[in-house]
Chains A and B, each alone.
Chain A
Amino acid sequence: MGAHASEPIIQVKDLSVTFSGCQALNGITLDIRRNERLAVIGPANSGKTTFLRCLNRLNDLKHDYRHTGNILLDGKDVYDSDVDVARLRRRIGMVYAVPGPLPWSIYDNLVYGPKLAGIRSRDRLDELVETSLKAAVLWDEVKDRLRMPAHNLSGGQQQRLCLARVLALEPDVMILDEPCSGLDPISTAKIEDALVELKSSHAIVLVTNNTKQAGRASDRTAFFLMGKLIEVDDTTRLFTNPTDQRTNDYLVGQFG
């Protein structure tokens, strides 16, 4: 896209969310820029995951979900009635905390999304499988056994497969919900490496409980606390010189 790199791709405006009347998010206003990695940190129950799931409207699937405010993707409200939700979820690809490959082969896992998007050509699907596996740093490990059940892979490989599965959708934004929480340091490093490569073509939102990971693998960091956005800044500045006392307390381990 010709748009300037620091221009926002997603604008969240005064977003508040309740589940059965319980406040989960409270007046979040936050821009996500093209080609940046934004980390979202904060203690448990601070609304990080809820925030992510608002972006691709996964929260819609809960019956007691209500929200106010706006989320604009390229200037268009994602909650407008004429938005194709399935297409929106392909533009904003999500990776979950627990790797959840579908009970099929590696290949079928990867082509499921593109097939839903209407891609039928064998060559095109094969090409997507290869490029997405390469981008997720998994190609060399599985290229000879694409027909093998995905469940035979190790946990770290499964999570990279889930990353590749989302990449095969060719999304504009990638949202990752604690993608490394169950992984060993080597698998974690591989996923973080993949994110560095991906940033040139995708905006990335990374929710993490691991502040060190936020420090390593993001350009900007947002700190959430009890459903509120406390502050958002360049990662180095936020980590070395936070403006809010609560951010500082969290980073030095005073609570959370």
Chain B
Amino acid sequence: MKQDRFIAFILLMLALSALSGLVLITVFIFKEGLPLILQTGFRDFFLSSDWDPKGEHFGILSMIVGSLAVTVGAMAIGAVFGLGMAIVLTQFCPPGLVSILKPLIELLAGIPSVVYGFMGVVTIVPLIRNHLGGPGLSVLAASIVLGIMVLPTVTSISVDALKAVPRAYWEGSVALGATKWQTTHMLMLKAARSGILAAIILGMGRALGETMAVIMVAGNALEIPGSPLDPVRTLTSNIALEMGYATGRHREALFATGVTLFVFIMIFNTTALAISRRSAGKGGGR
């Protein structure tokens, strides 16, 4: 008994120290970044794309647009392929093949992001430059690389959501004369809808937060992209590229960029959590 309480206490402390890490990081970046946003003014910080640290102009609009463009592009690719993969794995694949394919997809998550970036630079960037024009380093290149990087997240959470649909639904549908594909899109995708949505939003969070691979393939130009073939700088790349030499207000501005990113990712993750909670409460009902 005594020993149990002692161990419970130790574990509680460990859990709290992990949690306090989250609290400290949050407090720290807000403390460092928020004053600059207030001094610069919301309008000049969020709605201006004039980023000139030497001239003390800190407008991050082009990076917000860059991050969103790359994220949307990545999800257009990642959601389609990830969901397609999840459908194949749960509905159409013999079990033997699933046990080979699923671990392989999960292995994608273990590849360091710098390797993705490198693959992007040596294969995708030249392909775009030679066949579609532009510098190659672009929104499109970053979207493709990130789209592949979010596949494991989107696929495995979607697979879980599809597997959580009761087998009785599936059998009931098939026995009523639905083909596998009709059952999939009329029943399974609807019944697993919230889980799939959560998968896509978590994937978006991952794409928005990714830094290394994006720096390598996005081109990092400080301008609002006019087409998918234009280079962009994302919020994360901005911090990583300039943190090494930034001081004073410049450094504060980078923390302010971090605050912006933090808020975006918090919104994504709480949305995903809320969606999956709501569906759990309703038992996957319509």
Q: Which A residues form the contact surface with B (CB < 8 A)?
A: 56, 58, 61, 63, 86-87, 89-90, 93-94, 96, 98, 100-105, 112-113, 116-117, 149, 151, 162, 165-166, 169
Contact = CB atoms under 8 A, between A and B. Distances in A.
B247 interface: no
A231 to B, nearest CB: 29
Contacts of A63: 94-95
23 contacts: A56-B175, A63-B94, A63-B95, A86-B178, A89-B174, A90-B177, A93-B176, A96-B171, A100-B172, A102-B169, A102-B172, A102-B173, A103-B169, A103-B190, A103-B191, A103-B284, A103-B286, A112-B173, A112-B186, A116-B182, A149-B286, A151-B285, A169-B176
Contacts of B191: 103
Given A63-B94, A116-B182, A100 B177 contact: no
A134 to B, nearest CB: 19
Contact of B176 (A61, A103, A165): A165
B179 interface: yes
A89 B169 contact: no
Nearest to A88: B177
Interface in B157-181: 166, 168-169, 171-179
Contacts of B169: 100, 102-103
Contacts of A94: 175
A89 B177 contact: yes
Contact of A166 (B166, B171, B176, B190): B176
A169 B171 CA distance: 16
Task: Report the 4 A-B pairs with minimum CB-CB distance, sorted nearest first.
Answer: A100-B168, A90-B177, A113-B176, A89-B177
Given A96-B172, A166-B176, A169-B176, A102 B187 contact: yes
B177 A113 contact: yes
Contacts of B175: 56, 58, 89, 93-94, 96
B166 A100 contact: yes
Interface residues of B, number: 23
B171 A58 contact: yes
A112 B179 CA distance: 12
Contacts of A116: 176-178, 182
Interface string B271-286: 0000000000001111
Contacts of A58: 171, 174-175
A100 B286 contact: no
Contacts of B182: 86, 116
A111 to B, nearest CB: 11
Interface string B108-135: 0000000000000000000000000000
Contacts of A169: 176-177
B197 to A, nearest CB: 16
Nearest to A101: B172
Contact of A104 (B171, B174, B286): B286
Most central of A103, A112, A149 by chain B CB within 10 Å: A103
Given A104-B286, A151-B285, A98 B176 contact: no
A162 B162 CA distance: 23
A117 B179 CA distance: 11
A19 to B, nearest CB: 14
Contacts of B172: 96, 100-102, 162
Contact of A96 (B168, B187, B190): B168
B84 to A, nearest CB: 21
Given A58-B171, A116-B176, 4 more contacts: A87-B177, A93-B176, A96-B168, A149-B286
